[in-house]
A and B are shown apart, each in its own frame.
Chain A
Amino acid sequence: MLQEESDLSLIIAQIVQKLKGSNLYAQLERQAWGSWEKRILKSLNSMCTELSIPLARKRPVGEQKELLNKWNEMGTDEPDLSLFRPVYAPKDFLEVLINLRNPNYENGDSLSFRTHLGLIQVPLKVKDIPELKEFFVELGLTTGQLGIDDSTQVPPELFENEHVRIGQKVLAEQDSAAAQQYIRQGSPTALRAELWALILNISSQPEDILYYEQLKTNVIQHDLLVDSLIYKDVKLTASNDDYYFVFEDYLYQVLLCFSRDTSVLGHFAYNSASPPKSYIRGKLGLEEYAVFYPPNGVIPFHGFSMYVAPLCFLYHEPSKLYQIFREMYVRFFFRLHSISSHPSGIVSLCLLFETLLQTYLPQLFYHLREIGAQPLRISFKWMVRAFSGYLATDQLLLLWDRILGYNSLEILAVLAAAVFAFRAVNLMEVTSLAAAEAVLADLSTLKVMPLLQIFLFATVT
């Protein structure tokens, strides 16, 4: 009887804790995001004032015609973008995350082995390796994988042929849930575009194409300040990339339309952020005259266009490419640059990364910390961009297969830790942050799936 009682009170205590916790977290999120948001808007507004450019204006007819003619080759345009700066870069965002504190959490002055030595000081729950092994069970050593078991030394009869056959069957039956399960083992190159569309529930209906055309008209008719930021970002990142430069024009076609798509606002319902607002000229503070700016509520940061670039590999029809990107954004990518306590949110990913490193590679973690090279400072940019632009394209697509398959971004943190584990020997010898960055500068030769497998399933813990 006593046992039951104490069990019960334990359960109740846990529930109370949970409720308390969630309230606190909500508060935390709102506070943190609130001040960050203010900073971004301030930056945008000051750019606006400095350059005397309105946040939005209607294009004169001549300009509209010109843009329409050039729609498929906007990359050939070279507007003067020297005065524009990206509103923020991932490292600015990292600083915000580092300073997140839960005001009710008492860390205590005494250090114990539980003390977190990383940069993130918010005690969110993250998975440990046993839990990750369970979660990612299909990546185990005894299950066939694309990215490993399709290499040239392995005869295709062992795994690849059968896997392709199953993939074709899944597509034939248009079974979205089965596709999601299937893709955990990777997608064959020829089937990937269709599989992703199936999982994301994208089918090109006439109304979707029409919707895209409407957005395009919107772009033609109005010029937004944000457009210049998009231009600048594409020119700075994707255009300079060895592989994605080819798709420059598609990136404009997608991102310019994206910024005007108000349906994206819908994702703020489950995002703890709120879209930035702006006011019609002269009506500052009057809620009736508030509009979301940009219309989709998303202010692009430095590197944003890299979310779209890998998709150009798979989709060539602009409206389909657009839909796929939009869906990927509202399901996954937005979590990488907004503050939340969601397990796939960037804060949790950072904490997961640091915890994995501290727990399973303590010597490396400690060493890097000592030389002033906190690991998160290096891996943050990889995770924010979901590794786009850092991995070779075929490896990146194999990684994103698993994001879709597991409906989670946690794999990004695991991969980041696995990369550190892989280069641990070299990293132990460096004596500065710059040297550590150099060891980890080039990820283009990495094979993603073997790294993940070894880290999760083949490392002695």
Chain B
Amino acid sequence: MSRPKNQNYKGHGLSKGKEREQRASIRFKTTLVNTLMDVLRHRPGWVEVKDEGEWDFYWCDVSWLRENFDHTYMDEHVRISHFRNHYELTRKNYMVKNLKRFRKQLEREAGKLEAAKCDFFPKTFEMPCEYHLFVEEFRKNPGITWIMKPVARSQGKGIFLFRRLKDIMDWRKGTAGKKLTSLEAPPARSTVNPSGSHDARSSDDQKDEIPVENYVAQRYIENPYLIGGRKFDLRVYVLVMSYIPLRAWLYRDGFARFSNTRFTLSSIDDQYVHLTNVAVQKTSPDYHPKKGCKWMLQRFRQYLASKHGPEAVETLFSDMDNIFVKSLQSVQKVIISDKHCFELYGYDILIDQTLKPWLLEVNASPSLTASSQEDYELKTCLLEDTLHVVDMEARLTGREKRVGGFDLMWNDGPVSREEGAPDLSGMGNFVTNTHLGCVNDRNNQLRQLFRSLQNQKKASS
């Protein structure tokens, strides 16, 4: 990878060992049939290959990855949509381990204050191995609510809230120690989000598991921020092009997913309550599927601004930036950073009443099916811009800070918003280059970008 000699700015990593060849056509493969298929089919110069044909680009699912990645040779230009061991970030127990370790490291290197920036994940304990640690924490905080989740989530089954140790003693007797048999094998391959869309999980996630059911006990956030009396979480998209060095893009659009039921803590009083009651939307005769129960992030951001003022909103969004960056940094050294790989993550964030954001989970295969016309447009644009950043057509210079709706959030260091300014975080007036929930005039930007790239090419040829 060559660096331009006359500036310190690091390109965002397109291989420049030799001029990247422009391909006549790009052969793509995917098994998904939703917005992704539409986007791929409409991309000029991209041709679909089926079955055993050779491909340049594969948007694969994680089970294929597990089975084939290790014995697939890929030319330098080839791109694939997952990192080999993404589950270090996307499976709760691994994520927690990585984050805890990263936090300790930060505390050693930079002190308690810096380490506290990692406190965006509700206290989580892996079961059964951390059971005793959990009990200690439990005793320190009597009366709070905990949630028990199986690590490879299966459609709400097995998730419950509890407040008394006695409740999980019973559970422990019942299931822990039992081998994972076909009885308890997760029936579905997906988890359901409040909006009803599905993120893909696969049995691959359990392959590395010990046969005993793996669960995590996590502190339940009892004071979520409510709008109209309803609980919601945020879905945000982060595109990682490489881990070493870490290069991540943040998409401006996203949405808030509302649950149809009104939030109340009273229904979990001293009982097992399956989360499906809260997480799954009530199906009512008035429910119109195309309505979607979602707010675009722009609307959410405006709502908060009118209620709390712009400064509070700025703080909240920069706290969210912190979540994205720290979570990626915590797995930076563990994930196999193959140059063929990129990954589009779906982050689930919950805001509490003090306007603190919490990380619920990271999805390696965020749902790409559209629940409404608006949703369809969001996902189509998201995918188009993802493909622009992946840049199979070799059009970008590698120095762009914005491509369509994506802003370069981290480039082996923080990225500043200002044009041409060196990216030094030591500067007092450093503003990060993130625009989550802001205006997304991607069409204009793309037009200008590609026009200027064309001009540059003409000038240099």
A residues contacting B by CB (< 8 A) are: 72-73, 75-76, 78, 152, 189-190, 192-193, 235, 239-240, 242-243, 245-250, 312-314, 316, 393-394
CB-CB under 8 A from B293, the residues of chain A are 245
Query: Given known contacts A152-B439, A242-B374, A243-B295, is B228 in contact with A248 (CB within 8 Å)?
Result: yes
A190 interface neighbour in B228, B230, B310, Cβ under 8 Å: B310
Residues of chain A with a CB closer than 8 A to B258's CB = 245-246
Query: Residue-by-residue, is B216-253 near A (CB-CB < 8 Å gives 1, otherwise 0)?
Result: 00000000000111100000000000000000000000
Asked whether B288 is an interface residue with its Cβ less than 8 Å from the other chain, the reply is: yes
Interface residues of B (CB under 8 A from A): 227-230, 258, 261-262, 282, 284-286, 288, 291-295, 299, 302-303, 305-307, 309-310, 372, 374, 438-439, 441
A-side contacts of B262, CB under 8 Å: 72-73, 75-76, 249
| Residue contact A189 to B305, C-beta cutoff 8 Å | yes
Which chain A residue has the least Cβ–Cβ distance from B312? A190
Q: Is the CB of A72 within 8 A of B229?
A: yes
Once the chains are docked, how many angstroms separate the CA of A314 from the CA of B291? 23
| CB of A425, distance to nearest CB on chain B (Å) | 20
**9 residue pairs A–B, Cβ–Cβ below 8 Å:** A72-B229, A75-B262, A189-B306, A240-B288, A246-B227, A246-B230, A246-B295, A249-B262, A394-B302
Within the assembled complex, what's the spacing in Å between the Cα atoms of A272 and B149? 64
A242 to B294, CA, bound (A): 7
Does B284 lie within 8 Å of A78, measured CB to CB? Answer: yes
Shortest Cβ distance from B224 into chain A, in angstroms?
14
Complex Cα spacing A235 to B293, Å: 14
B302 A245 Cβ-Cβ under 8 A: no
Determine whether the beta carbon of A393 is less than 8 Å from that of B305. no
CB-CB under 8 A from A242, the residues of chain B are 291-292, 294-295, 372, 374
Contacts of A247 in B (CB 8 A): 228
Q: Are B228 and A78 in contact (CB under 8 A)?
A: no
Give Cα A190–Cα B307 distance, bound, in whole angstroms: 7
Chain A binding site: helix, strand, loop or mixed by DSSP?
helix
13 further A-B pairs in the complex, CB-CB below 8 A; given A240-B291, A246-B230, A316-B307: A72-B229, A78-B285, A189-B302, A189-B306, A189-B310, A193-B306, A240-B288, A242-B291, A246-B258, A247-B228, A249-B228, A314-B306, A393-B299
Q: Please, which residue of chain A has its CB at the minimum distance from the CB of B286?
A: A235
B299/A243 in contact, CB under 8 A: yes
Which among B230, B302, B306, B374 has the greatest number of chain A C-beta atoms within 10 A?
Answer: B306
Q: Is the CB of B306 within 8 A of A249?
A: no
Interface pairs A-B: 10 shortest CB-CB: A246-B228, A73-B262, A190-B309, A247-B228, A189-B306, A189-B305, A246-B227, A249-B229, A152-B439, A235-B286
Known: A78-B284, A247-B228, A250-B228. A192 touches B306 (CB 8 A): yes
In the complex, chain B residues whose CB is within 8 Å of the CB of A152: 438-439, 441
CB nearest to A312 among chain B residues: B228
Contact partners of B228 in chain A: CB under 8 A: 246-250, 312
By the criterion CB–CB under 8 Å, are A313 and B291 in contact? Answer: no
Write out the residue numbers on chain A whose beta carbons fall within 8 Å of the beta carbon of B305. Answer: 189-190
Residues of chain B within 8 A (CB-CB) of A250 are 228
* Chain A nearest Cβ from B305, distance in angstroms: 5
- How far apart are the CA atoms of A249 and B258 in the complex, in Å? 14
Known A-B contacts A73-B229, A245-B291; the reply to A393 vs B302 at CB < 8 A is yes
Most buried by A among B228, B291, B305, B441: B228
**Chain B residues whose CB sits within 8 angstroms of the CB of A249 once the complex forms:** 228-229, 262
Docked complex Cα distance between A248 and B229 (Å): 10
Chain A residue at minimal CB-CB distance from B227? A246
A394 vs B299: C-alpha distance in the bound complex, in angstroms? 8
Min distance, Cβ B36 to any Cβ of chain A, angstroms: 24
**Residue in A closest to B301 when the chains form the complex, CB atoms:** A189
- B372 cross-chain contacts in A, Cβ below 8 A: 242
CA distance A242 to B298 in the complex (A): 13
A242–B286 Cα distance when bound, in Å, is 14
The distance from the CB of A191 to the nearest CB of chain B, in whole angstroms, is: 9
Residues of chain B within 8 A (CB-CB) of A316 are 307
Contacts of B282 on A, CB cut-off 8 Å?
76
Which B residues lie within 8 Å of A243 (CB)? 295, 299
Q: How far is the CA of A24 from the CA of B422 in the complex (A)?
A: 75
Minimal Cβ-Cβ distance residue in B for A236: B286
Shortest Cβ distance from A192 into B: residue: B306
CA–CA, A148 and B299, complex, Å? 19
Q: Are A313 and B229 in contact (CB under 8 A)?
A: no
Q: Please, how many angstroms separate the alpha-carbon atoms of A334 and B282 in the complex?
A: 36
Smallest CB–CB gap between A232 and chain B, Å?
A: 11
Q: How far is the CA of A73 from the CA of B263 in the complex (A)?
A: 10
Q: Residue of A at shortest CB range from B288?
A: A240
Which residues of B lie under 8 Å from residue A235 when comparing CB positions?
286
CB distance from B444 to the nearest CB of A (A): 10
What's the Cα separation between A134 and B114 when bound, in Å? 59
Q: How far is the CA of A384 from the CA of B168 in the complex (A)?
A: 58
The chain B residue with its CB closest to the CB of A80 is B285
What CA separation (Å) do A248 and B291 show in the bound complex?
14
Chain B hits for A239, CB < 8 A: 286
Distance (whole angstroms) from the CB of B417 to the closest CB of chain A: 12
Give chain B nearest CB distance to A79 CB in angstroms: 11
Give the distance in Å from the alpha carbon of A303 to the alpha carbon of B299 in the complex: 22
Q: For the complex formed, measure the closest distance between the CB of B368 and the CB atoms of chain A, giving whole angstroms.
A: 20
Q: Tell me if B306 and A313 are in contact (CB < 8 A).
A: yes
User: CA–CA, A243 to B297, complex, Å?
Assistant: 11
For residue A197, give the distance in angstroms from its CB to the closest CB of chain B.
Answer: 13
- Residues of chain B contacted by A314 (CB below 8 angstroms): 306
Which residues on B sit within 8 Å (CB–CB) of A246?
A: 227-228, 230, 258, 295
* Contact partners of B284 in chain A: CB under 8 A: 78
**B230 partner residues in chain A, CB cutoff 8 A:** 246
Give A316's nearest chain B residue, CB to CB. Answer: B307
